[in-house]
Amino acid sequence: MTDAALFQSIIASLPEIVVVTGACVLLILGQLVRKGQEHFLVSASVAVVLIAALATLLLASEVRPAYSGMFIADRFAVFFKLVFYLATILTFLLSRKYADIEGIASSEYYVLLLFALFGMMIMASATDLLSIYVGLELMVLCTYVLTGFLRRERRSNEAALKYVILGAVSTGIFLYGVSLIYGLTGTTQLNAMAQAVTGNPLDPGLLLAVVFIVAGLVFKVGAVPFHMWVPDVYEGAPTTITAFMSVGPKAAGFAVILRVFLNPLVAASDVWIIVAVIAVVTMALGSFVALVQDNFKRLLAYSSIAHAGFAIFGVVAGGQDGVASVMLYLLIYAFMNLGIFGAVIMMRNGDFSGEVINDYAGFAKSHPGLALLMLIYLFSLAGIPPTAGFFAKFYVLVALVERGFVVLAVIAVLLSAVAAYFYIRIVMVIYMREPERVFDPALTPMVRATLAFTALGTIGIGLFPAWFLGFAQQSAAGG
């Protein structure tokens, strides 16, 4: 690589460099911070992400390929990076008080989140199966550790262990697919893959390779049949990390899926039939199993499986609208899901875990404002207008019907009627039951800011979706 090319590559990956440098500096500084001064870590971490966001926006004007085809900074990547920044910053804001309550004092918590962010950013920009792998592993390694962060809790340890083992298996499957691709086509670059196939693109070997890669990626977004880790890991991890995982890494997984699946090689192999089946089964399983959950975090885990299923419908639709619909869905999902998780995190105070749904009985009586926020997030997750969740689903359905997948669209809406049931059930508990306890939410200014911001997004995108839709469509076109 010449000096000029290296310089260009460094410019293109400036946001990543900012994040990783910031994380390293914080790692050292974190050891010097005295007890009671942890808010410094939060502000510093947020500042790092904000600088990275600024760099991303400044560089967004043109498409910048970098590192000899391993990496690209395009609009598609910019969109996803903004979603990651959003998820990370809000997680930081939610974490401060929660970390105190749970007794998480170490600075590594924040550093690991920054490293996970770094991994996600690589995933969004990766254009080579190997750089995808590097980003993926960096991200999941951090989340493995974060999942087990409540060292004294058995649940947390178990979740981390489960996550590591299953994650390693899925990584192995993914790598096996990559090696097959390399053996058959002689390249791992996404763009070169399709051109390298001289013979029949439906060669059984290639098909097998694609299936392995699909399986590896599907694990990361928690879709059936690789969803089994989701409920346990979501339940066991610290709630702030659960919130983060349900939004950031999931969006990163989708970023890769979109890049890989829309690759001509994969698109030619009729893989969409598999994907359609995955979408239907994922949504059905997530929705039906969520019906019987009593634990809020588990319910949200199944709900996130169901939402992943809905977003995969957008992948099935394909085309510019399909891609844009997935992206818009993830953005909106980030707002509403971080909102509802913010509410659950806020409830964790003293001896109150905030994890049992029935414990929320009568919450609307004592805290009408907070209850209203929860109502907004829940109706948005259920996809009821005028909230953003409705528009997210609407646009996926538009993409489906446009491509002629009317039957899939009908299945999708019927399953979302099932899903609506359990969100509405929580509203029922909050609004229609008598309170059994006194609520003392851990409301810090940071948590307040998070809740207000996510609510603003959930309502605002619902009422004025035009700008966000345009942003998603342009970003999809630039990918």
Partner 1 sequence: MGFPLLSLILFTPAAGAAVLMFLRSDDAVRWTALVVTILDLALSIALLAGFDTTTHEMQFTETVPWVPALGITYALGVDGISALFVFLTALLGAVSVLASWVAIERKVKAFMVSLLAMQALMLGVFSALDLFLFYVCWEAMLIPMYLIIGVWGGEGRVYAAFKFFLYTLAGSLLFLIGVIALYFHGGETFDILALTARDLPFPVQAWLFFAFLIAFAVKVPMVPVHTWLPDAHVQAPTAGSIILAGVLLKMGAYGFLRFSLPMLPEASVYFSPLMLALSALAIVYGGLLALAQDDLKKLVAYSSISHMGFVTMGIFALNLRGLEGGILQMFNHGVTTGALFLFVGLIYERTHTRSIADYGGLMKVAPVYAVFLALFTLSSMALPGTNSFVGELLVLSGGFAANLAVGAAAVLGATLGAAYLLGMYRRVALGPASVSARFKIRDVNAREMVAILPLAVFVLWVGLYPKPFLDIIDVSVKHLLAEVHGEGSGQ
Q: How many CB atoms lie within 10 A of CB 464?
A: 12
Q: How far is CA 325 from CA 303, 313, 444, in A?
A: 19, 9, 35
Work out how close the CB of 457 gets to partner 1 at its nearest, in angstroms, rounded to a whole number.
Answer: 17
Work out how close the CB of 165 gets to partner 1 at its nearest, in angstroms, rounded to a whole number.
Answer: 39
CA of residue 231 relative to chain centroid, distance? 15
Work out how close the CB of 276 gets to partner 1 at its nearest, in angstroms, rounded to a whole number.
Answer: 16
Q: Which is nearer to partner 1, 211 or 424 (CB)?
A: 424
Is the CB of residue 97 less than 8 Å from the CB of residue 442?
yes
Q: Which is nearer to partner 1, 190 or 412 (CB)?
A: 412
Q: Which is nearer to partner 1, 205 or 404 (CB)?
A: 404
Q: How far is CA 355 from CA 59, 108, 337, 352, in A?
A: 42, 26, 16, 8
The site for partner 1 (CB under 8 A) is made up of: 368, 375, 379, 384-386, 390, 394-395, 397-398, 401-402, 406, 409-410, 413-414, 416-417, 420-421, 424-425, 427-428, 431-432, 465-466, 469-470, 473
Q: Which is nearer to partner 1, 241 or 411 (CB)?
A: 411
Work out how close the CB of 329 gets to partner 1 at its nearest, in angstroms, rounded to a whole number.
Answer: 15
Work out how close the CB of 154 gets to partner 1 at its nearest, in angstroms, rounded to a whole number.
Answer: 36
Q: Which is nearer to partner 1, 7 or 467 (CB)?
A: 467
- The b/e string for 377-388 (b: 16+ C-beta within 10 A; e otherwise) is bbbbbbbbeebb
Q: How many CB atoms lie within 10 A of CB 157?
A: 16
Q: Which is nearer to partner 1, 91 or 475 (CB)?
A: 475
Picking from 170, 154, 263, the residue whose alpha carbon sits closest to that of residue 217 is 170
φ, ψ of residue 64 in degrees (nearest 5): -125, 100
Q: Which is nearer to partner 1, 220 or 367 (CB)?
A: 367
Picking from 114, 115, 9, the residue whose alpha carbon sits closest to that of residue 71 is 9
Six token digits for residue 466? 């035009």
CA separation for the pair 49, 221 (Å, rounded): 23
Coil, helix or strand for 200? coil
Q: Which is nearer to partner 1, 56 or 325 (CB)?
A: 325
CA of residue 310 relative to chain centroid, distance? 14
Work out how close the CB of 8 gets to partner 1 at its nearest, in angstroms, rounded to a whole number.
Answer: 33
Sign for the CA dihedral angle at 458, 100, 159, 120 comes to: positive
List, in sequence order, every residue forming a beta bridge with 64; answer none if it has no partner. Answer: 73
Coil, helix or strand for 310? helix
Q: Which is nearer to partner 1, 57 or 406 (CB)?
A: 406
The end-to-end CA distance of the chain, in Å, is 24
Crossing angle for the helix pair 239-261 and 75-102, nearest 10 degrees? 160
Is the CB of residue 9 less than 8 Å from the CB of residue 2?
no
Q: Which is nearer to partner 1, 103 or 369 (CB)?
A: 369
